[in-house]
């Protein structure tokens, strides 16, 4: 019984870790996509603000500040 509970807890922990890494990878993909779109439309305020938010989520604060300031 103890081994089953330990296994369940371990699997739950690994699932949470995997989800966190997955979200982090998605944020990186979002940043690359938004930057690519901004190359084509550098004055698009919506893209700039979305980029700023994605950078904030990725804890890239200095880059986020620059993007968000441009969007204002």
Task: Give the whole-angstrom CA distance, residue 36 versus residue 50.
Answer: 13
- Residue 46 forms part of a structural domain: yes
- Residue 62 forms part of a structural domain: yes
Can you give the residue range of the structural domain that contains 63?
24-72
Number of domains comprising the chain: 1
Output the pLDDT for position 46: 87
Task: Phi first, then psi: give them for residue 57, nearest 5 degrees.
Answer: -60, -30
- Residue 11 forms part of a structural domain: no
Residue predicted with more confidence, 15 or 64: 64
Output the pLDDT for position 69: 92
13-56 confidence digits (pLDDT tens): 544 544 454 466 788 888 888 888 888 988 888 888 888 988 99
Residue predicted with more confidence, 59 or 24: 59
- Residue 49 forms part of a structural domain: yes
- Residue 9 forms part of a structural domain: no
């Amino acid at each position: 019984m103890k081994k089953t509970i330990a296994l369940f807890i371990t699997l739950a922990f690994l699932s949470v870790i995997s989800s966190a890494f997955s979200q982090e990878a998605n944020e990186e993909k979002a940043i690359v996509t938004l930057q690519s779109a901004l190359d084509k439309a550098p004055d698009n305020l919506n893209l700039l603000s979305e980029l700023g938010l994605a950078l904030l989520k990725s804890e890239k604060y200095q880059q986020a500040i620059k993007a968000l300031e441009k969007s204002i």
